């Protein structure tokens, strides 16, 4: 198995058409870049294809196609799969009709892919997918896995933990709050998270497509090299900003009540999923089994927190040197 990203010349994806459903979202941006670098032709099928306009300069003439698509519409799915050699389904959500979107739609994509003789299919799920879960999100993901495999038995199922990256909505959510507030509540302070870098998820998708003989029909749980508690994540972000903050561990009852309120940054399902944490299950196949060395959060955090520091790139060093309290 290759130990680094394949070149366009050596990749089986070079010149082939990869249809990516939900490819204009946050993770889709990383996936698209990884596949374009391998010489693949991409068709990004999404409800909002205009969101991927920034990818056009990275593609050669005719290498990237943007297509409007409702993944719950069979005719739309069929059109998006026309001529496709490989397929990735990235579609996910925390709200809306999750039975249709993340439960039934993967089966529609898988059936249409099988009918067209697609070489490989990757279905993106999530750690914690569980048909018996109290959350619609986890139940939908479990249903999607089952439906995808029923129609396309050699599909590769990838279950990422929380995905982090420079412009994510997880690290940056807390970073913005830490920048502004001297005292912050921490929900699920002891919950362990195995954050995984978006590049590593994109690489796993590419390798699953390139080598269906190795990865087809298997399920991989994708997590980073560390298990960090929510409290530790908050403290690391504050340290990277050069700020001293007071963090208050919130009892579960308070957290649950907060999550039930409208307009809060955390939904009830998100709280329910956060409480047990998001880590790779013991014995599960993971990134290492795909030949990928997971990147730790610490490799990037100091650089990413530059924009949140009081005096930019000089702020953290100056504040530490002077022992200031910010």
Instruction: Tell me the per-residue pLDDT of 32-56, one tens digit each, with 9 for 90 and over.
Output: 999 999 999 999 999 988 888 888 8
Report the C-alpha gap between 197 and 39 in whole angstroms.
Answer: 23
Residue 252, number of CB atoms within 10 A of its CB: 11
Report the C-alpha gap between 258 and 44 in whole angstroms.
Answer: 37
Instruction: Say which residue the tokens 């993106």 belong to.
Output: 124
Joined together, the tokens standing for residue 124 give: 């993106």
Report the C-alpha gap between 305 and 290 in whole angstroms.
Answer: 31
pLDDT mean across residues, the chain = 91
Report the C-alpha gap between 210 and 204 in whole angstroms.
Answer: 10
Cα dist from 2 to 11, 14, 36, 64, 195, whole Å = 10, 16, 18, 26, 24
Candidates 84, 298, 290, 301; CA nearest to 201 is 290
Helix 26-37 / helix 198-210 crossing angle, nearest 10 deg? 50
The per-residue pLDDT for 200 is: 98
Report the C-alpha gap between 304 and 170 in whole angstroms.
Answer: 13
Report the C-alpha gap between 326 and 198 in whole angstroms.
Answer: 31
Which residues neighbour 36 within 8 Å (Cβ) at sequence distance 6 or greater?
42, 55, 58, 59, 63, 64
The per-residue pLDDT for 271 is: 84
User: What are the residue ranges in the chain where pLDDT is below 70?
Assistant: 1-9, 312-326
Whole-model pTM: value is 0.90
Cα dist from 75 to 79, 107, 108, 142, 150, whole Å = 6, 14, 10, 24, 20
Contacts 24+ apart (CB under 8 A), 264-271: 265/173, 266/187, 267/94, 267/95, 269/94, 269/135, 269/136, 269/137, 269/138, 270/94, 270/137, 271/187, 271/188
The per-residue pLDDT for 179 is: 96
Cα dist from 236 to 229, 247, 254, whole Å = 11, 12, 24
Report the C-alpha gap between 223 and 245 in whole angstroms.
Answer: 28
The answer to whether the beta carbons of residues 204 and 268 sit under 8 Å apart is: no
Residue 176, number of CB atoms within 10 A of its CB: 12
Residue 46's H or E segment, with its range, is: strand 41-46
The per-residue pLDDT for 325 is: 43
The secondary structure of 223-251 as a DSSP string is --S--EEHHHHHHHHHHHHT---EEEEPP
């Amino acid at each position: 198995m290759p130990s680094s990203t394949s070149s366009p010349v050596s990749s089986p994806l070079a010149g082939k058409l990869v249809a990516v459903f939900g490819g204009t979202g946050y993770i889709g941006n990383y996936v698209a870049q990884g596949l374009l670098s391998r010489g693949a032709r991409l068709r990004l099928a999404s409800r909002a294809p205009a969101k991927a306009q920034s990818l056009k300069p990275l593609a050669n003439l005719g290498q990237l196609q943007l297509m409007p698509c409702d993944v719950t519409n069979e005719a739309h799915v069929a059109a998006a799969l026309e001529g496709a050699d490989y397929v990735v389904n990235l579609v996910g959500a925390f709200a809306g009709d999750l039975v249709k979107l993340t439960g039934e739609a993967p089966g529609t994509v898988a059936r249409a892919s099988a009918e067209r003789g697609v070489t490989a299919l990757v279905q993106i799920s999530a750690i914690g997918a569980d048909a018996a879960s109290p959350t619609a999100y986890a139940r939908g993901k479990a249903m999607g896995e089952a439906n995808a495999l029923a129609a396309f038995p050699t599909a590769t199922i990838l279950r990422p933990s929380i995905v982090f990256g420079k412009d994510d909505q997880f690290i940056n959510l807390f970073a913005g709050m830490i920048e502004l507030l001297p005292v912050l509540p921490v929900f699920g302070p002891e919950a362990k998270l195995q954050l995984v870098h978006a590049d590593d998820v994109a690489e796993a998708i590419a390798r699953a497509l390139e080598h269906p003989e190795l990865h087809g029909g298997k399920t991989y749980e994708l997590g980073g090299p560390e298990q960090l508690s929510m409290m530790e994540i908050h403290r690391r972000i504050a340290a990277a900003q050069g700020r001293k903050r007071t963090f208050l561990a919130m009892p579960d009852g308070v957290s649950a009540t907060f999550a039930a309120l409208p307009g809060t940054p955390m939904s009830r399902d998100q709280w329910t999923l956060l409480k047990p944490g998001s880590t790779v299950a013991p014995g599960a196949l993971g990134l290492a089994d795909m030949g990928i060395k997971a990147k730790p959060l610490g490799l990037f955090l100091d650089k990413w927190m530059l924009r949140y520091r009081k005096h930019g790139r000089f702020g953290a060093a100056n504040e530490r040197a002077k022992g200031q309290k910010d």
